[in-house]
Amino acid sequence: MTTFHNTDDSKDAPGAVVTQRVCVVGAGYVGLTAAAGLAELGHDVACLEADPARLATLQAGGIPIHEPGLDELVRTHMAAGRLRFTGEVAEAVAGAGIALLCVGTPPRPDGDPDLRQLGNAAIQVTRAAISDLVLVVKSTVPPGSCEALELLAGGHAPEGVAVSVASNPEFLREGEALFDFFNPDRVVIGADDPTTRERVSGLYPSTWPTLHCDRRSAELVKYAANTFLALKISFANEVAALSESLGAESHKVLTGVGLDNRIGGDFLSPGPGFGGSCLPKDLSGFIAVSDSVGQPAPLARAAQVVNRNAGSAMVDKLEALLGSLAGRRIGVLGLAFKAGTGDTRFSPALRLIKELSERGAVLVASDPLARVSGDVVEQAEDPYEVAQAADALVVATGWAAYRELDPERLRSVMTGHVVLDAVNVLDPDAFGRAGLDVYGVGRGRPTSFTPVPWRPLEWMLDADGSPSQPAELPVAS
């Protein structure tokens, strides 16, 4: 079995959890990880899932998502009787004093969060409760949601049942969900009364770094953290664009920036913009909630603008390189929103595909995990099939496997020689030797020749062109 932490030690250690009967609502990335992780920590977990197909897969011992180690952990604890999946609310809530709400909170078309799944889930489990219940919101929600949920659920509680709501936002990364569950940078628990706080704290080993705070602060931690990550990516894209115009190497520049401990190198990679089910949605949510209290949030808005333009800039570049995109066959490598997952929700790769198609390109794509349906893009089995008769290739997701591609083999099946590496994973020299021109992001190849040194030189001179006179230095007495 994949080991993410030392189970035996953790159960005997002072940080051992207080074993509880737990209901987890929603078996997506967050709920399924939490359900398996909590079972591994010793809790008795019933997981409620509303989607019949997903539920049937889980009950049959299958896993509907790709997460390393999750299938093994789920099967182990199902076999041990510590983890069950059900579609029956009463069965899921029976005997549980705590219910983790892990349902989706997708964006509405106007960018505001859609919290209807959360409201429904809270009402369902509250109605089925037979004793006092703590609802723990793991879904990402705008500040104030826990308080709103307490009002909503309270109105549906059976006679004599008290319901309280706590915030416990989730920070896992898709593709590394279990590792992150067992090795959290922090557990954030927002509760407004000590009993609820203790109940939620008891879910996790006390040795895990934990921040206790009020509910609104906990909710805002999640929104603010994702907004900051979005800002870092947009900043990297701005630096990459500047590097490209100046003829500087953005990966060297950003590595140099990220080596500063105060900054850190994660999320400083330029590319086709951020995507996935979290960053774009949480950034819009941060802006929406700022608007709702009259705060303009200029930084968050700027990150959004830069991100919107990131994909279009790549398509512009390809169009300039090919002359026109109309009728050109473009092969796209990567569909998932990032490497390591099959998730295509709000994927930058799909945004690129959409825009290329709108400009007349004929598209074929593949991905190691993700699949697409629809008539905009043809799905191929592997990168070499994608490259067949392609006028150009676009690398849209940073899969490590793409570093191992054989440039000679790609060149031999392609019609054209242009490769747009939107995620900077290819070796331009190796591809160049095979006759393929790789255009990365913010890498070498200044897109225009600007006599860059003239401006700094001008700034060294006085307005009339004479060398600046050094300011009078104080004479030491």
Q: What is the DSSP string of 328-343?
A: -EEEEE--SSSTT---
CB atoms within 10 A of CB 150: 18
Q: Which residue has the CB atom at the shortest distance from ligand NAD?
A: 28
> Mind telling me the catalytic residues?
278
| Residues 54-73, interacting with ligand NAD (CB under 6 A) | 54
* Nearer of residues 144 and 444 to ligand NAD, judged by Cβ: 144
**Contact letters for ligand NAD, residues 454-473 (x by CB under 6 A):** --------------------
Interior CA angle at 338 toward 333 and 344, to 5°?
A: 80
* Nearer of residues 51 and 72 to ligand NAD, judged by Cβ: 51
- Could you say which of 4, 29, 182, 346 contacts ligand NAD (CB under 6 A)? 29
- DSSP H helical segments within 269-366, as ranges? 279-292, 298-322, 348-358
* Nearer of residues 285 and 442 to ligand NAD, judged by Cβ: 285
Burial of 77 (0-12, 13-18, 19+ CB in 10 A): buried
Q: Is 48 in the site for ligand NAD (CB under 6 A)?
A: yes
Sheet with 418-421: strands ordered across: 377-379, 362-366, 329-333, 392-395, 418-421, 437-439
Q: Is 369 in the site for ligand NAD (CB under 6 A)?
A: no
Q: On the CB side of 267, how many CA atoms lie within 13 Å of its CA?
A: 17
Shortest distance (Å) from residue 197 CB to ligand NAD: 21
Shortest distance (Å) from residue 305 CB to ligand NAD: 22
* Nearer of residues 28 and 190 to ligand NAD, judged by Cβ: 28
**Which residues in 382-419 are b (16+ Cβ under 10 Å) and which e?**
ebbebbeebbbbbbbbbbeebeebebeebbeebebbbb
Q: On the CB side of 120, how many CA atoms lie within 13 Å of its CA?
A: 11
- Could you say which of 16, 50, 225, 248 contacts ligand NAD (CB under 6 A)? 50
Helix, strand, or coil (residue 310): helix
Shortest distance (Å) from residue 71 CB to ligand NAD: 16
Rounded CA separation 165/122 (Å): 10
Q: Which two tokens stand for residue 299?
A: 């930084």
| Residues 104-133, interacting with ligand NAD (CB under 6 A) | 104-105, 117, 120-121, 124
* Nearer of residues 29 and 431 to ligand NAD, judged by Cβ: 29
**Sequence-distant (≥ 6) Cβ neighbours of residue 52 within 8 angstroms:** 87
| Residues 428-457, interacting with ligand NAD (CB under 6 A) | none
Helix, strand, or coil (residue 99): strand
Shortest distance (Å) from residue 429 CB to ligand NAD: 35
- Cα-based distances in Å from 352 to 240, 299, 308, 309, 325: 18, 25, 11, 11, 13
Count of chain residues binding ligand NAD (CB under 6 A): 27
- Could you say which of 5, 16, 51, 376 contacts ligand NAD (CB under 6 A)? 51
Shortest distance (Å) from residue 120 CB to ligand NAD: 5
Shortest distance (Å) from residue 147 CB to ligand NAD: 17
CB atoms within 10 A of CB 192: 17
Stretch near ligand NAD under the rule CB under 6 A, chosen from 67-75, 103-111, 232-240, 328-336: 103-111
Type and span of the H or E element at 30: helix 29-40
Q: Is 390 in the site for ligand NAD (CB under 6 A)?
A: no
* Nearer of residues 7 and 117 to ligand NAD, judged by Cβ: 117
| Residues 9-28, interacting with ligand NAD (CB under 6 A) | 25-28
- End-to-end CA gap in the chain: 77
| Residues 266-295, interacting with ligand NAD (CB under 6 A) | 277-278
- Could you say which of 22, 39, 100, 103 contacts ligand NAD (CB under 6 A)? 103
* Nearer of residues 10 and 140 to ligand NAD, judged by Cβ: 140
Which residues in this chain contact ligand NAD in the complex, by CB under 6 A? Answer: 25-31, 48-51, 54, 102-105, 117, 120-121, 124, 139-140, 170, 172, 174, 277-278
